[in-house]
Structure 1
Amino acid sequence: MRIVVSGTHASGKSTLISDFALRHPEFVVFPDPFELLDEAQDAASAASFAAQLRMSADRLELAVAPENAIAERGPIDFLAYLSALEDLTSATLPRVAWERAVALTREAMQQVDLLVVLPLTPTDPIVVGTDEHPALRDAMNDALLDLLGDPDIVGEDLEIVEITGDRDRRLAALEALIAGRSR
């Protein structure tokens, strides 16, 4: 089973994946592509998001990804960041670049069995400092939720589940999803 855990930054993805991996060593964990960038690409920019989109898509290829894998972020996350960046800066991505990003996302998401989304909610707040770019965080969350409704991007068959709640509730929900699929 290939699982992607999606959400904006500081939404609980790393914590959920870490907790899940401790209980499920049979799953290979793919870290956040941000951790794989060299320091020159650390800034929130279209170039860094495009690079992370490519990395996250490449690791989902059937020839590369093991049978049981859980990935922190998928290409849809970075498509959402590109959209959010456009909304916040009014800088538009060239149409051809956007279309390539959409095509790459669509193709890669076909390799995913389960997309777990951790949306920001007022009932389960994770407080972040100004160094976490709160406007980008909120805009990405909104863009991601919009993209989830587009079958041209996520396909018709991808199981998409939003998980909310505290740390224990999120882990229990993910484990229940996995147990339900293995029956």
Structure 2
Amino acid sequence: MRIAMSGTHRVGKSTLIEDLGEELSEYRVVDEPYHLLEEEGYEFASPPCLEDFLEQLRRSLDLLEEEDTRNVLFDRCPLDFLGYLLTHEDSDAFDVEEWLPRIRSTLKTLDFVVFVPIEERDRIRLPAHEDSNLRREVDEKLAWLLLDDPYDLGVEVLSVHGAGASRVSQVIERLKRG
């Protein structure tokens, strides 16, 4: 199976993927584009600019296209970056239609996406310096992209909730169904 984690920042995606990596030893974990780009010397603006999210989208798509093996867990999904791009203050400079064909074809390489939404009681405390409104906007945009599927992307989505062990169990149960 090829599975990508999706969600706004500080919802527990990385923790979930670490826990799944321990539970599913036959799976390989692919780090999120932000960390990979940083390791390669890419310098992100603070706060991230539109180009930073475009670069992460490119890298996310490349990772899905390059990695053709089974049993892979991707930390982040291309739709995460689409969510950030569509909510960015400079979003009018982003042409979503230009990217949709590649996003559609690349998402078809995934068996499903695990969506980790913001929960009523946050599992991870948001530092005071981070923009909680942006986080909520991106979460809402991701729910729209993943669950409402306005662009007919056709990707299966498993929305997980609860504490870490419960989230892991929900993914494992989905894997058992094939």
TM-score normalized with structure 2 length? 0.89
Quote how far apart the aligned CAs of 1:4 are: 0.6
Residues 109-143 of structure 1 deviation map (CA, whole Å, 9 limit, x = unaligned): 11110111000010454221133332221111011
Q: Name structure 1 gaps, 5 residues minimum.
A: none
Q: Secondary structure at the match of 1:93?
A: helix
Q: Does 1:173 align with 2:170?
A: yes
Instruction: State which of 62, 82, 95 in structure 1 corresponds to 2:85.
Output: 82
* Amino acid in the other structure paired with 1:53: L
Q: Secondary structure at the match of 2:92?
A: coil
Question: 1:98 aligns to what?
Answer: 96
Q: Partners of 2:43 and 2:121 in 1: how far apart?
A: 36
* Amino acid in the other structure paired with 1:130: A
Question: 1:67 aligns to what?
Answer: 70
Q: Does 1:2 align with 2:5?
A: no
| Aligned-residue CA RMSD (Å) | 1.7
TM-score normalized with structure 1 length? 0.86
* Amino acid in the other structure paired with 1:81: Y
Quote how far apart the aligned CAs of 1:152 are: 2.7
Quote how far apart the aligned CAs of 1:59 are: 1.1
Q: Partners of 1:132 and 1:143 in 2: how far apart?
A: 18
Residues 70-113 of structure 1 deviation map (CA, whole Å, 9 limit, x = unaligned): 1011111100000111xxx2x34336x32223333222111110
Extract structure 1 runs of 4+ deviating beyond 4 A. none
Question: 2:53 aligns to what?
Answer: 49
Q: Partners of 2:91 and 2:19 in 1: how far apart?
A: 38
Q: Is the 8 A contact 2:29 2:74 kept in 1?
A: yes
Instruction: State which of 126, 133, 137 in structure 1 corresponds to 2:135.
Output: 137
Question: 1:122 aligns to what?
Answer: 120
Q: Is the 8 A contact 1:59 1:65 kept in 2?
A: no
Q: Secondary structure at the match of 1:17?
A: helix
